[in-house]
Amino acid sequence: MTLVQAIFEVQSWFAQWSAGVHQAPRQILSGGELVNGDMPALYASEELAIDAWRDAMRKATASDHGKGKGGKKLIWVDAPRVEAFRITIADKGQTHRIADDRYTVTCRFAIESIDK
């Protein structure tokens, strides 16, 4: 699954969606909500990070879309994006070499009720 496909799936859980600003957005990464000072969960491939992010969004917003889409709007404060982390290893001589890249998906969003 690509990030575009995952975003489309998440948006389909809500009656409306848009990009915008919000006073109290939530931040979700592939491993779930980030607690201050924690490192994000890193995944071996973009696809694994995207799947984990979609699952984290499903859990984080379950009460907002559990019984249909009615009445809720998703606002992307910071659109979902893949972030890559380059992992390096140092030997005894402090020579660094690239070991691998690791990935996470991050976004900031809010959910509001739709006035009828």
The four Cα atoms 33, 37, 42, 48 give a dihedral, to 10 degrees, of 0
Based on the structure, what is the number of domains in the chain? 1
- Which residue ranges of the chain lie beneath pLDDT 50? none
The string of pLDDT tens digits covering residues 68-98 is 556 789 999 999 999 999 888 877 777 877 7
pLDDT computed for residue 69 by the predictor: 55
Q: CA-to-CA distance for 43 and 32, rounded, in angstroms?
A: 13
pLDDT computed for residue 37 by the predictor: 65
For residue 77, the enclosing domain spans: 3-113
